[in-house]
Structure 1
Amino acid sequence: MRKSAYLLGVAMLQVVSTPVFAQGAAVGADANGSDIIVTARRQEERLQDVPISITVLSQDAIADRNIVNAGDLGSYVPSLATNSNFGPERSSFSIRGFIQEGRTSPSVGVYFADVVAPRANSGTTSGNGAGVGQFFDLQNVQVLKGPQGTLFGRNTTGGAILLVPTKPTDRLEGYVEGTLGNYNERRIEAVLNIPLSDTFRLRAAVDRNKADGYLRNRSGIGPDRFADTNYVSARLSMVGDLTPDLETYTIARYSRSHTNGVLSKIISAGPYPGFPIAPGLGGFLAPLAAAQIARAQARGDGFWDVDNSVADPKEIQETWQVINTTTWKASDTLTVKNNVSYAEFKQDTAYSLFGDNYIYPAGYLANVLFPGFPGFPAGHAAGIQIKTGPSGHYASQSTFTEELQFQGNSADGRLNWQVGAYLEVSKPLNFNSGFNEIFIECTNPGAYQCSSSFLGAFGLNNISTANIKDSYNNKGLYGQATYKLTDKLSLTGGIRYTMDRMSDLSRNINTTIVRPGVATFSCQDILLFNAGTAANPIPVSASGPTGPECVQRIKISSNRPTWLIDVDYKPSNDLLLYAKYARGYRQGSIISNNFGFETFNPEKVDTFEAGAKTSVGGAVAGYFNIAAFYNNFTNQQIAVNSVVAPAYAAVIAPSQIIANAGKSRIWGIEVDASARPFQGLRLDLSYAYLNTKLISIVPPALPVFFSDLQPAADVGGPLAQSPKNRVTVTATYTLPLDESIGKISLGGTFTHTDANQVHTQRFAPTTFKVQAVDMLNLNASWDSVGGLPVDLSFFMTNVTNIKRYVYPIATYQTTGAESVYLNQPRMWGFRAKYRFGE
């Protein structure tokens, strides 16, 4: 496959232009023949004039590829990967190997209308990103690669994704579109644009999408389906021209998703040769995992069949946001822009962390593990179930942002500059609250209505309750300027000073269920501190009405400069050469229930990049963009897998903690190219080569309550979630038909992604790598059917119905088994759109 990708890349190097998935467009233009305009440098510019590696997807491209959530986006941008192992609602992004692990701050910032996505700081990765219901009625989506640390609001090391909504126009127009697909998909979109007057314009848009899940539940517990779709998203925008030089642009948006969530699947049970199970739970549970697999085989379960153990699983997310951008053109050489926003995010959840449904026979301990041990009746042993806790929502956070920009240029046009100040304040609406039911099942954990299993004989009948309030205060002062040394040679310099503050207030309580309705309590932090975790801050404990109230307060702060130096040379309008050096930075964070590892430091990266953008016209028009980069990482935030010592198995749950690695490096090459060999046919190619290496790591001290710590990456080996080769090829053919018939186009997209490591093999002996995949998607469209304002289209994703593990879970040392998340099966559907107005 690598050889094929290489040969294909060599063939495409014969043509040149810009990375835009538009159909039938002129070179460097969209489908309507207009120049593609991007806002990668916080102002409108031609894509080919911007010395940044960018991929742009138009709204038509988003629809053709059936991109409905953030998890779908990574399939079409080779440098971009998405981690959707907790569901598409919680997808997080990585670019060029810069990943977001756990509850760290995003390595890739997501911006809607130039405003960063609201914080979403729950007990598991929440993405802090696009979520679902945002990929409709957009002007485009821009993926910016590499550190964006001088101009964009939140400082990130990996890049930025800009979702640019369609702005209200001065025409009375709109559309209604309906979709019907497999898995009973029913989707309707509607947009109405109204010019209220010569100076005020209004645009309303709504997207309602519902589909059955593709994961079939075979346990008889809970719903029949998982991985379902059920969201509504609405948007209202208004533009007002207060004066000829003063514009105000306001967006109010709301989205709500309520599904059964996703569920992982146990696919193998230990022990494995060469990978013994550590002393503790794994040895007890491996036979039960093998029994669960045997039951599935006896039932004739298919690949997308799962075993659920949670009676009422759910994944609910609700977000609303108001954004205002006011722009004042003070003079021909000065523009003042102010962006202000407020958002609230809420989440509730209930799911099985490992996808287990362990059923044991009577006398299991005596007959299987410990002869002579007192027998237990037959029963059900749950793994770890995560649910919304007693204090409110699983996550509930507000985010306020304010950004003031001054943009200007010299009278002769040689100097273009901007300076600004950024403020982001994110506060909890209440405690982010979660129950972790550790090897026990509860119908009402708040009232201690729980059923125990044979594991209760070992003290494993506990609930870990986390109540956390995280507050953020992020400030930045920045400036950037480009000066034309000559008509062809320009120099750009930018600097930013970032001041990040974070505070954490937590109450983490361990509850031991004595019998239904009766429990004893302990403060997890005090227990662990007394056990010798000197690195853990000393908490304050006081007696509460229902047990001890365990309070811990932690604060961290960091101040860092970041900068950019860029030289670009433009010998002609069709050729841009550039070279740049940038310093990137991502703030440290607090995860208070990661005992012994509550805090971790900021990471920084030095990035060196050189690239070229060039295009040609003529009979065989095309484009070719290339970028080569090298990243030198220090203090990179990486995941570390932990195994709880047997003496503490009843106190804390096994977890994936975050630690700062020593050093690592990333280098690679990105290519975006296109060609039109003859009238009607367009070929697009995107390719990314990524070479990563963990150079050194200083292992963190091992607290007494952990028996082992193992980073997800090995020294000398590649970083996690970093496939070496990724290529996407799209072919689109437009039939040569008379305009009275309409425009009929047929398209297909092929994507190859190499296998890549997610965990160390010791913790996932057979599934430590994500499998390589070759994926084919098809689409067809008939626009303006018979000259009418009607468009028809068809899409099909995963045409060959590939079965693939998309994310393994490192559970072997805890459950004696391996669990994985599964990819989407073949999806298809038909769309019909009716356009009206001017």
Structure 2
Amino acid sequence: MITAQKREESLQDVPIAVSAFSGAALERAQIENPQDIQFSIPNAVLVGNDRFTLRGIGNNAISSTADNGTQTFFNGATVALSPQDEFYDLERVEVLRGPQGTLYGRNTTGGAVNVITKRPTSQLEGFAFGQAGNFDSVKLQGAINLPMGERVRQRFAGYWLKRDGYTENLATGNGIDGREQFGVRSTTEVDLPWAVTGRLTLQYFEEDSSRARETKRLCKAIAVLGCSPNELGFDSPNTSAVIMQTLLRSPIFTGIFPPGGDIYAGAPNPQDLRKIAADYDPKTEGENFIGVLDLSKTLGSLTFTSLTSYSEGKSKASTDWDNADLPFRFLRPITYQLGPDRQVTTDRLLTIDQFTSRSRTWSQELRLVSDNDGLFNYTAGAFFFDSKGRSRFEIWHPAIEFFTRAIGLPAASQHVDNDTPYSRTKAWALFGESYFQVTDATKLTVGLRYTDEEKAIRTRSIVLAAPTPYVVAERDWQEWTGKVSLDHRLDLSFTDETLLYASVARGYKGGGLNPGNAVDPDFEPETVMAYEVGAKNQLLGRALQANLAAFYYDYTDLQLGQRIGANAVTANADAKIWGLEGEFLWRPTENWLFDSNLSYLNTEIGEFLTIDAANPAQSLTTRTPAVPVNLAGNELPYAPAFKVKIGGQYSFGVGDWTGTLRADLTWQDEFYAREFNTPNDRIDGWALADLQARLVRDDGRLELQAFVKNVTAEDNIVSSIIEDALIGSYRNVRLLEPRTFGASILVRY
């Protein structure tokens, strides 16, 4: 049972492409977090291990006012889940593929991910889980359900995770990209007067770890650019092309900078994707709180629901900006800033960057759902949303500090400072969806939504220049989205149940602002016309479930972010997308179970002239005019053409126990990290194999497990970004986890 249409229905009755995972299915496939679940969803990519792209649609914009194209929901409420959080004590996860503009609204052009937690029951019950593995990994989980009288039910759940880093920093001798985090949740359900049921869910997440934003520097050194735009390697950037070298050679460093000194000369870059050499280890701190209040009342065939949510979060992440352990030394120690609160006196050239953010969001949805036995049903509602935040990205480098100080700039200019102390999005919407039972076998769905939103921002960027006043900008947009769908249940001799459906839907993602850019002060909303046909089948005496979908998207004003020099701008382009998907679940006997998903995706950008930051004409040291390139015919970023996942398990009796052996294999085709589709943008295809063995006592109260993930120890790259021309335009990449193994015990009571 799922709630993809905001009413409880069987997965096979819903005319939408949905990947649904019960708590048991999550456990069966070792899906412990968002990174794991991407392998079991057709046409899904988790960009940088933290942002979903579905069917080629995610968030390619660069702006504090940009929105994700795949929206996350928590118990049905619009909240920003922390992508670093773990899955624990869940009822199910539903992933809706394709635009969901009617019921779910703005920012679901790619789809929607709804995480649904377990509800309290009237029984005293719970579980305790412990797992240990390599990299000194320890994970603890638990939950307890407390009946508190006839009208009140309470459930507490939580987890704690600690492990060493998967990447070794040879300069410090430490493992980086490690984890130390925990999450706790309280769910209270109360039967209120007037037959109202209330459920309050409170969840908190905290992290203090060595998580790395980017984990490996790749570069083939050349003149002019620092790093080749067409070839990658394990070099450091060519010193002559690093703009910081130019600043360091200025007269203000006479007597400090050695004659002919090369700041990157001899800087190690190990030829191993799991090893780096940086002056110090990255550090990440974060907190996230979510509260959701769900009030519902059923009166006859009508159910009224009020869904109120509030969330707030903050994060701080810092790392070595030049991502290097430089052998270079100044002729004598100098004193300079290394971060907002730290001053050093050293002959070493040390750098640091820091990203900080805070946000708070609340939303309110009022919904009326009918459940008549007749020919007509409907869902109608209103939605309100208010989100406010601030963010700041800062870079400290002695060359910047000394150069700006020498030319008389104030202290605020002595480091790079991209500051957005205020950004806000406010939106409201009215929506409705009607269901007409045309015949016993045929149903027509018609939906419509009106959205009104406004965005405001205050921001400025200081890069080797005097501070400018904060730029204040605001815009508002209004948009209609909707859907028409027809589904028909077939009575065929060779199937037990078949549902065919065809739909036309319009999706919408809000626009945003590029303050300080006189040429492109803002970017337009994305809109997509999506055409889809599908079939949901039960075959072989319901032993085989086969769900198929084909889709075509006509995209208008797709948002694409461009990095040019030390600045970023988001522009709009058109695109065409089409694809095929299949999801299969087969139990040929009581002992065997197989699941798989297959997908194909074709993306093509329309006419679009833009600037490539990897082009020599865009270097900060050149004065030649910018050279635009036409991206017509290029593929969208993070849109692999093929993806295949196959899983299988065999269960057998062992006395009072049931044993299960399971294997999962995922293969994903190559794709591009940027819309420019250059050789350096290409990320190779990869494969991932997992194995596990389980023993479950027949009463279900005790479970033992041993597992190996990434059996062949592949170093699979999942994302790549181009770094600033100030330090050589090298590529920073992220990877999937290396081979991990361990064992766990689960006790239910």
TM range (shorter): 0.7 to 0.9
| Secondary structure of residue in 2 paired with 1:723 | coil
- Decide whether aligned partners of structure 1 residues 49 and 219 sit closer, same or farther in structure 2, where only a CA change above 3 A counts: same
- Decide whether aligned partners of structure 1 residues 641 and 508 sit closer, same or farther in structure 2, where only a CA change above 3 A counts: closer
Q: Which one of the candidate residues 474, 482, 500 is aligned to 2:435?
A: 482
Q: Which one of the candidate residues 202, 208, 218 is aligned to 1:258?
A: 208
Q: Is the 8 A contact 1:264 1:353 kept in 2?
A: no
Matched, 1:810 2:722: yes
Find the counterpart in structure 2 of residue 589 from structure 1.
512
The Cα offsets for residues 494-536 of structure 1, whole Å up to 9 and x where unpaired, read as: 00001111111225445x6xxxxxxxx7224xxxxxxxxxxxx
- Decide whether aligned partners of structure 1 residues 595 and 791 sit closer, same or farther in structure 2, where only a CA change above 3 A counts: farther
- Decide whether aligned partners of structure 1 residues 712 and 65 sit closer, same or farther in structure 2, where only a CA change above 3 A counts: farther
Distance 1:356 1:578 in 2: 55
Q: Is the 8 A contact 1:676 1:683 kept in 2?
A: yes
Find the counterpart in structure 2 of residue 21 from structure 1.
none
Query: What is the Cα-based RMSD across aligned positions, in Å?
Result: 3.4
Distance 1:226 1:760 in 2: 30
Q: Is the 8 A contact 2:239 2:264 kept in 1?
A: no
- Decide whether aligned partners of structure 1 residues 492 and 275 sit closer, same or farther in structure 2, where only a CA change above 3 A counts: closer
Q: How big is the shift at 1:761? A: 6.3
Q: How big is the shift at 1:597? A: 4.6
- 2:184 maps to a residue whose letter is A
Q: How big is the shift at 1:199? A: 1.7
Find the counterpart in structure 2 of residue 612 from structure 1.
535
Distance 2:37 2:673 in 1: 20
Matched, 1:343 2:311: yes
Q: How big is the shift at 1:344? A: 1.0
Q: Greater CA deviation, 479-488 or 72-81?
A: 72-81
Distance 1:424 1:346 in 2: 19
Q: Is the 8 A contact 1:576 1:614 kept in 2?
A: yes
- Aligned ranges for residues 634-783 of structure 1 at < 5 Å? 634-642=556-564, 644=565, 654-661=566-573, 663-699=574-610, 714-735=631-652, 737=653, 740-759=655-674, 766-783=679-696
- Aligned ranges for residues 797-836 of structure 1 at < 5 Å? 797-811=709-723, 814-816=726-728, 817-836=730-749
Q: How big is the shift at 1:65? A: 4.1
- 1:749 maps to a residue whose letter is D
Q: How big is the shift at 1:258? A: 1.3
Q: How big is the shift at 1:457? A: 11
- Decide whether aligned partners of structure 1 residues 285 and 100 sit closer, same or farther in structure 2, where only a CA change above 3 A counts: farther
The Cα offsets for residues 261-305 of structure 1, whole Å up to 9 and x where unpaired, read as: 214322333227886999984487799697456x345xxx64311
- Aligned ranges for residues 343-362 of structure 1 at < 5 Å? 343-353=311-321, 355-360=323-328
Distance 2:175 2:144 in 1: 35
Gap regions ≥5 residues in structure 1: 1-36, 119-128, 364-376, 389-393, 442-449, 513-520, 525-549, 645-653
Q: Which one of the candidate residues 508, 511, 523 is aligned to 2:467?
A: 523
Matched, 1:397 2:320: no
- Decide whether aligned partners of structure 1 residues 711 and 617 sit closer, same or farther in structure 2, where only a CA change above 3 A counts: farther
- Decide whether aligned partners of structure 1 residues 278 and 799 sit closer, same or farther in structure 2, where only a CA change above 3 A counts: closer
- Decide whether aligned partners of structure 1 residues 613 and 465 sit closer, same or farther in structure 2, where only a CA change above 3 A counts: closer
Find the counterpart in structure 1 of residue 340 from structure 2.
none
Q: How big is the shift at 1:60? A: 3.1
Q: Is the 8 A contact 1:496 1:562 kept in 2?
A: yes
Q: Which one of the candidate residues 354, 357, 370 is aligned to 1:387?
A: 354
Distance 2:425 2:627 in 1: 30
Distance 2:134 2:619 in 1: 52
- 1:350 maps to a residue whose letter is S
| Secondary structure of residue in 2 paired with 1:419 | strand
Find the counterpart in structure 2 of residue 648 from structure 1.
none
- Decide whether aligned partners of structure 1 residues 154 and 664 sit closer, same or farther in structure 2, where only a CA change above 3 A counts: closer
- Decide whether aligned partners of structure 1 residues 641 and 173 sit closer, same or farther in structure 2, where only a CA change above 3 A counts: same
Distance 1:292 1:419 in 2: 66
Distance 2:669 2:627 in 1: 24
- 1:716 maps to a residue whose letter is G
Gap regions ≥5 residues in structure 2: 232-236, 247-260, 332-344
Q: Is the 8 A contact 1:712 1:760 kept in 2?
A: no
- Decide whether aligned partners of structure 1 residues 789 and 456 sit closer, same or farther in structure 2, where only a CA change above 3 A counts: farther
Distance 1:665 1:746 in 2: 42
| Secondary structure of residue in 2 paired with 1:718 | coil
The Cα offsets for residues 757-808 of structure 1, whole Å up to 9 and x where unpaired, read as: 113668xx653111110110112211127x5721111222111000233222
The Cα offsets for residues 214-250 of structure 1, whole Å up to 9 and x where unpaired, read as: 1111123xx8222111111000001111247321111
Aligned residues: 696
Matched, 1:269 2:188: no
Distance 2:180 2:556 in 1: 41
Find the counterpart in structure 2 of residue 47 from structure 1.
11
| Secondary structure of residue in 1 paired with 2:631 | coil
- Aligned ranges for residues 66-145 of structure 1 at < 5 Å? 66-84=30-48, 88=49, 91-101=50-60, 102-103=62-63, 104-118=66-80, 129-145=81-97
Find the counterpart in structure 1 of residue 198 from structure 2.
248
- Decide whether aligned partners of structure 1 residues 834 and 595 sit closer, same or farther in structure 2, where only a CA change above 3 A counts: farther
- 1:113 maps to a residue whose letter is N
The Cα offsets for residues 404-444 of structure 1, whole Å up to 9 and x where unpaired, read as: 0011144x43211011000011123xx4333233x448xxx
Distance 1:812 1:553 in 2: 26
Matched, 1:626 2:595: no
Distance 1:362 1:351 in 2: 22
Distance 2:180 2:292 in 1: 25
- Decide whether aligned partners of structure 1 residues 306 and 714 sit closer, same or farther in structure 2, where only a CA change above 3 A counts: same
Distance 1:757 1:583 in 2: 27
| Secondary structure of residue in 2 paired with 1:72 | helix
Q: Is the 8 A contact 1:190 1:206 kept in 2?
A: yes
Distance 1:697 1:144 in 2: 30
- 1:551 maps to a residue whose letter is Y
- 1:523 maps to a residue whose letter is P
Q: Is the 8 A contact 1:282 1:812 kept in 2?
A: no
- Aligned ranges for residues 170-569 of structure 1 at < 5 Å? 170-220=122-172, 224-243=174-193, 245-262=195-212, 263-271=214-222, 281-282=241-242, 291=265, 295-297=268-270, 302-310=272-280, 313-330=282-299, 332-353=300-321, 355-360=323-328, 380-381=348-349, 385-388=352-355, 394-410=356-372, 412-428=373-389, 431-437=390-396, 439-440=397-398, 462-510=415-463, 522-524=466-468, 550-569=469-488
The Cα offsets for residues 715-756 of structure 1, whole Å up to 9 and x where unpaired, read as: 212111100000000011111x16x52221111110110110
Q: Is the 8 A contact 2:503 2:531 kept in 1?
A: yes
Distance 1:408 1:49 in 2: 17
| Secondary structure of residue in 2 paired with 1:73 | helix
Query: Percent of counterpart pairs with the same letter?
Result: 24
| Secondary structure of residue in 1 paired with 2:99 | coil
- Decide whether aligned partners of structure 1 residues 490 and 355 sit closer, same or farther in structure 2, where only a CA change above 3 A counts: same
Find the counterpart in structure 1 of residue 341 from structure 2.
none
TM-score, normalised with respect to structure 2: 0.86
- 2:287 maps to a residue whose letter is E
- 1:233 maps to a residue whose letter is G
- 1:568 maps to a residue whose letter is D
Q: Greater CA deviation, 347-356 or 622-631?
A: 347-356
| Secondary structure of residue in 1 paired with 2:24 | helix
Distance 1:823 1:261 in 2: 13
| Secondary structure of residue in 1 paired with 2:466 | strand
Distance 2:357 2:449 in 1: 31
Q: Is the 8 A contact 2:526 2:555 kept in 1?
A: yes
Find the counterpart in structure 1 of residue 254 from structure 2.
none
| Secondary structure of residue in 2 paired with 1:696 | coil
